[in-house]
Structure 1
Amino acid sequence: MTDLKPKTTAGAVDGPDVKHMKWWGWGVEGTAFHHEDKPAFAPFVKKMVGVDLGSDAITAAPAFDELDIPASRLSSEVASSLSLVVGEGNVVTGDLERVVHTYGKSIRDLIRIRGNIFPRVPDAVVYPATESEVAKIVAAAVEYDLVLIPFGGGSNIVGSLEPMPDEERMVVSLDMGRLDRVLDIDEDGRVARIQAGAQGPDIEEQLNAKGWTMGHFPDSFTHSTLGGWVATRSSGMQSDKFGDIADMTKGLRMVRPDGVVVIRAVPSASTGPSLREMILGSEGRLGVITEVTVQVHRIPEQREILAYLFPTWEAGLAAMQAIAESDANPSVTRVSNEIETEMSFATSKESKGVSALVMQGLQRFLKVKGWDLTKMCLSFIGYEGSEEHVSINQKLVAKIVKKHGGIGVGKGPGVLYDQKKFDTPYLRDFFLDHGGAADVSETSAPWSKLLPLYTEVYAAANRAFEKVGVQGLIMAHLSHSYHSGACLYFTFAFEHGDNALEQYDVVKKAIQDAFIQEGGTVSHHHGVGLEHAPWLGQDVSLPGLALMQGLLDSADPKRNFNPGKVTGK
């Protein structure tokens, strides 16, 4: 990553000082991926998807004033009512602010933005500062029959943020960015009360100052919020040790038209069907989450991520399963298949001097051992805790790695991974500039089904690439290991034509169909939104989907709260 000249900008937003990503892509203006100092990257891309990064044919995002943004439909009566609640400067109807709050950051979203496709945008963005203000806005939504869409950091990639294209009512995007504080830390209970609009870095900064951490680090960490994590059942990179957001969430507050739902932060309870579980993953359809009580941990004495190499993908999977079954307690267990491994090496800067000699020596050593370096798989395993705990776990893992034919390659690659782990989404914008489309799909399945699922996903994706007439790439890694199984995370890419969305739909459908066919879930941690809703009935069964829809219909009979998401209705 490097600082570059900013691309197309549209000036400052009109609302309060709340952090937003750039309207046309991921992250902040002036920061972008570049490949000039990564000599292996352009050849890798050319080989895998046929895209020539040396070509001058770059299609950047349009200038903002070239976009055709539908006018706001917000009536003066509703604008006045909302302004009385939050203050006039916190009800914004400017085009830039409304575009920022229209889509998330999936490849579908970015293609539509670049294609000037805005069938429906929010009519206003409203910034509450307190739960009381949220309650009054919720009441206004019911009174005036508005559509209310909660907005956190805008990082969603499954269509959870966009208004339904045929929505005739006024649409309000409820930006929670002003509710961004850690309110209280119960040191004995090891929980913290945190406002739902707090983004990842703000949470950790406030907790770290008191010696604590949540330990929740999703890929979107730098631009996503606690409320968004809860609303989509997020998982973080260190979930092996700390759990996912469902495990971390001990209590919460959610505003509804009839009052505030309060889930008290107790260790466990037998109080009927779990309201906490109903709210987790509800994507704003049951109300507005304003505060979450999460478990926290003391900042560990030691934290390390070590790199390992395995001779094959199958060996890497078997090692991760063995680690999950063992007494070891790592914070991260991740292994990439051979293509993603090649991609990782291709995005590295050229090794020089001693580093180059070390790499050459390692390659010679592996060849002597009989490894086929084209099948080699890179793994990262993390350790946190006391010095003694880390040492014990590293020794336990080392034995398992050795048993499965792997070798340790030290801290260096792990340090680099730790530094760059949140930068990957910038690659998607870069690739789109050069005529390529790339996105992700993730699932989880039992250990017994992981390899058959992986094999079928690969076959299905390649059939889809052939069907749409493109050279495509699919790669994968295992992350988030559990007692009974793990998450497989797939990235797919291809050089798109003028019908990029149609091509994407064919590939995406093939992958999601394979998930269901092979016993996986429709989504492990990105949520459902509109993108995954077509498969939900197959995942949870049609009676299960009907039960879910019944809950939503009962809780929101007028469909004021983010209608259409999760169930598609």
Structure 2
Amino acid sequence: MPEQPELTIQGWGPHPADASADASGERAPALEATLPKAARRHLARELGWTPRSTPPVGIDEIRLPASRLPDDARAALAGVVGEENVRTDRESRLRRAGGKSYLDLLRRRSGDASDAPDAVVLPGTTDETAAVLALCSERDVVVVPFGGGTSVVGGLAGIDPDDRPTIALDMGRMASVQELDVPSSMVRVGPGMRGPALEEALDRSGLMFGHLPQSWEFATIGGYAATRSAGQASTGVGRFDDLVAGLTLATPSGVLELGHAPASAAGPDLLGLAVGSEGTLGVITEVALRVRPKPATTAYEGWSFRTWAGGLAALQRLARHDLLPDVVRLSDADETRANLLNSGSAGARVLRGMLRARGHAEGCMLVVGWEGLPDIVRARTRAASALLREGGAIRLGRPVGEAWRKHRFGAPYVRDTLLDSGLLVETLETAATWAALPTVYDAVRRALRDSLTRGSRRPLIMTHVSHGYPTGGSLYFTVLADRDEELPIQQWLAAKRAATDAMLTAGGTVTHHHAVGADHRPWMDREIGPLGVEVLRAVKARLDPKNICNPGVLLPD
């Protein structure tokens, strides 16, 4: 299978001619070319921020420690996977240094790659993966599984309390469809396969997987499984953990084959234990997925509510009557205003004028999407629309929905430009019951605002409901603030700590779909209780007795 494009070292997505761009210092477009003038003025006014040039250091200036992998361990690994699949060169190690969170990018942009692995190892089979894990367990080498490198919670930080040599186990060689079972609507794939490649392979048989997180272009199937991912259409088609029929997990103690039957009552669900394990129990080497026919029709459209509370109440009614769309995205007034200004199109200006005339100048936009057979889509759309109108919503039509659909993967690219202009840009997310959602929303926003306000400098906090369930929904917060150039990492850590404490106290979960990683593990005692943490520790001790499998994530110190 051809090599899949890699993310750039200091940002998101491959710029044109990715490798040469790194060498020449080519960057994302300037702020003026990325955001319309109205959007730039809005940000400056809201944040008390003056745009400034804060480019990253050159790639050749990044400080990379020498590899600590012993020569005999390197030779032994090469004996398992082949000499060409054990790499200690500078570029291979830099490209697998951490993920793409704000903190990850701050470190890389400042020239710090102290968290880079000592080597990159690329297994080609389950047997090779198991052999690598056994060898590393024997030689006390830490293993961090690596897929697309898109973690935003420190999932690839390579933290080890004993400071042992670390390898990134890159699953890129295991990136193909292994079996397509059309009658059973199932496909078995390697963990290194990316979303676009899977959809292309399924398309030839009239099928689709349809799991579309914002990282879809680069994230891998193994990463989805390890982090219990959610996609943009998960309200309708299910979260990733709903779509996994089985998987193979290689551990230092052996190989587990889990699931594959349509359903089973054979004791506790070990498959559910492996999904979301974040590389702490072993490495996922194969995933069986439930797929579905490509939809015969799609319908994406926009609506507007006068208030956030009105929008939440409408979603709650849809959920109660089993009418939630496949895609649901309710933006608060701050996010709605920013999105309309960022568009910069003539259509968006006309829409803003219409909303003002209808009393929705500070309104909240809802994007909904349905997919499936034409008669079913029409019936669902008609029934849901009636409830939305009862809740006071104005229908904005298909162009609004299709505009969101067209640009839905674009935010991480814009982030690079904002970072170059002196801003803090980060996201966090949670979920709560419908009853608790308004309280969680207020509490998190208040905590972020209090932490990040410094005199005339204020944060802009934009929020949307990204997924709906019968009992509640998720909240996704995007935070922008003038970056503290002296202590940028501490600035965000303080805000993150305050926001996470607030969301848990108000009734939210520590994460809805970003996973735990290193960033959220201090709160796992509160999330699942001390006994729950001890249960996970006991399982890990059995499968990974030397604690070599991604020891710096999931479980608190």
**SS of equivalent to 2:343:** coil
Measured against aligned partners, the alpha-carbon deviations of 1:484-540 in whole angstroms (never above 9, x if no partner) come to 111011111211121011110111111101110011100000000110011111111
Whether 2:202 is the aligned partner of 1:216: answer no
Match of 2:549 among 514, 537, 561: 561
Mark the CA change 1:433 to 1:165 in structure 2 (over 3 Å): closer, same or farther: farther
Match of 1:453 among 440, 444, 453: 440
Residue 478 of structure 2 aligns with which residue? 491
Give the residue type in structure 1 aligned to 2:502.
A
**SS of equivalent to 1:448:** coil
Distance 1:509 1:357 in 2: 38
Measured against aligned partners, the alpha-carbon deviations of 1:457-486 in whole angstroms (never above 9, x if no partner) come to 121111112369842111100011001111
Whether 2:317 is the aligned partner of 1:322: answer yes
Counting only pairs closer than 5 Å after superposition, residues 393-432 of structure 1 correspond to structure 2 as 393-432=380-419
Whether 2:261 is the aligned partner of 1:275: answer no
Distance 2:457 2:356 in 1: 36
Residue 354 of structure 2 aligns with which residue? 362
Whether 2:167 is the aligned partner of 1:172: answer yes
Deviation at 1:356, TM superposition (A): 7.0
Residue 551 of structure 1 aligns with which residue? 539
Measured against aligned partners, the alpha-carbon deviations of 1:296-315 in whole angstroms (never above 9, x if no partner) come to 00001001211111111111
Whether 2:506 is the aligned partner of 1:518: answer yes
- Cα RMSD for the two superposed structures: 1.8
**SS of equivalent to 1:109:** helix
Give the residue type in structure 2 aligned to 1:26.
W
**SS of equivalent to 2:466:** strand
Mark the CA change 1:540 to 1:513 in structure 2 (over 3 Å): closer, same or farther: same
Deviation at 1:268, TM superposition (A): 1.6
Mark the CA change 1:48 to 1:132 in structure 2 (over 3 Å): closer, same or farther: same
Distance 1:514 1:499 in 2: 23
Measured against aligned partners, the alpha-carbon deviations of 1:330-360 in whole angstroms (never above 9, x if no partner) come to 2111100000001111210231xxx478536
The TM-score, its normalising length taken from structure 2, stands at 0.94
Mark the CA change 1:568 to 1:119 in structure 2 (over 3 Å): closer, same or farther: farther
Whether 2:11 is the aligned partner of 1:25: answer yes
Q: Are 2:122 and 2:169, in contact at CA under 8 Å, matched by a contact in 1?
A: yes
Give the residue type in structure 1 aligned to 2:470.
H
Distance 1:441 1:505 in 2: 12
Residue 140 of structure 1 aligns with which residue? 135
Distance 1:217 1:360 in 2: 29
Mark the CA change 1:75 to 1:360 in structure 2 (over 3 Å): closer, same or farther: closer
**SS of equivalent to 1:254:** strand
How many residues get paired? 543
Counting only pairs closer than 5 Å after superposition, residues 196-207 of structure 1 correspond to structure 2 as 196-207=191-202
Mark the CA change 1:139 to 1:377 in structure 2 (over 3 Å): closer, same or farther: same
**More deviation in 30-39 or 518-527?**
30-39
Deviation at 1:152, TM superposition (A): 0.4
Deviation at 1:85, TM superposition (A): 2.0
Deviation at 1:100, TM superposition (A): 1.4
The percentage of counterpart residues that share the same residue type is 34
Deviation at 1:164, TM superposition (A): 1.4
Q: Are 2:137 and 2:548, in contact at CA under 8 Å, matched by a contact in 1?
A: yes
Residue 5 of structure 1 aligns with which residue? none
Residue 503 of structure 1 aligns with which residue? 491
Distance 2:211 2:390 in 1: 31
Whether 2:248 is the aligned partner of 1:250: answer no
Deviation at 1:35, TM superposition (A): 4.3
**SS of equivalent to 2:552:** coil
Deviation at 1:108, TM superposition (A): 0.6
**SS of equivalent to 1:221:** coil
Match of 1:443 among 430, 435, 455: 430
Q: Are 1:19 and 1:177, in contact at CA under 8 Å, matched by a contact in 2?
A: no
Residue 67 of structure 1 aligns with which residue? 62
Distance 2:291 2:495 in 1: 40
Whether 2:526 is the aligned partner of 1:538: answer yes
Whether 2:9 is the aligned partner of 1:45: answer no
Counting only pairs closer than 5 Å after superposition, residues 345-360 of structure 1 correspond to structure 2 as 345-351=340-346, 355=347, 358-359=350-351
Distance 1:523 1:90 in 2: 35
Distance 1:503 1:290 in 2: 38
Distance 2:139 2:368 in 1: 52
Measured against aligned partners, the alpha-carbon deviations of 1:433-460 in whole angstroms (never above 9, x if no partner) come to 1111111111110100001111111211
Whether 2:374 is the aligned partner of 1:390: answer no
Q: Are 1:335 and 1:377, in contact at CA under 8 Å, matched by a contact in 2?
A: yes
**SS of equivalent to 2:435:** helix
Distance 1:390 1:148 in 2: 46
Q: Are 1:306 and 1:414, in contact at CA under 8 Å, matched by a contact in 2?
A: yes
Deviation at 1:361, TM superposition (A): 6.0
Distance 1:489 1:465 in 2: 18
Mark the CA change 1:154 to 1:177 in structure 2 (over 3 Å): closer, same or farther: same
Q: Are 1:239 and 1:331, in contact at CA under 8 Å, matched by a contact in 2?
A: yes
Whether 2:468 is the aligned partner of 1:476: answer no
Deviation at 1:417, TM superposition (A): 1.0
Measured against aligned partners, the alpha-carbon deviations of 1:380-403 in whole angstroms (never above 9, x if no partner) come to 100011111111111111111111
Distance 2:537 2:555 in 1: 7
Q: Are 1:468 and 1:506, in contact at CA under 8 Å, matched by a contact in 2?
A: no
Distance 2:527 2:310 in 1: 29
Give the residue type in structure 2 aligned to 1:399.
A
Deviation at 1:328, TM superposition (A): 2.3
Q: Are 1:333 and 1:380, in contact at CA under 8 Å, matched by a contact in 2?
A: yes
Residue 3 of structure 1 aligns with which residue? none
Distance 1:555 1:391 in 2: 50
The TM-score, its normalising length taken from structure 1, stands at 0.92
Q: Are 2:466 and 2:474, in contact at CA under 8 Å, matched by a contact in 1?
A: yes
Q: Which runs of 5+ in 1 are unaligned?
A: 1-15
**SS of equivalent to 1:120:** coil
Distance 2:424 2:331 in 1: 21
Match of 1:291 among 259, 282, 286: 286
Give the residue type in structure 2 aligned to 1:150.
P
**SS of equivalent to 2:196:** helix
**SS of equivalent to 1:541:** helix
Counting only pairs closer than 5 Å after superposition, residues 90-169 of structure 1 correspond to structure 2 as 90-164=85-159, 167-169=162-164
Q: Are 1:82 and 1:137, in contact at CA under 8 Å, matched by a contact in 2?
A: yes
Distance 2:515 2:213 in 1: 13
**SS of equivalent to 2:409:** coil
**More deviation in 294-303 or 470-479?**
470-479
Deviation at 1:192, TM superposition (A): 1.0
**SS of equivalent to 2:37:** coil
Residue 9 of structure 1 aligns with which residue? none
Q: Are 2:316 and 2:434, in contact at CA under 8 Å, matched by a contact in 1?
A: yes
Deviation at 1:120, TM superposition (A): 3.4
Residue 305 of structure 2 aligns with which residue? 310
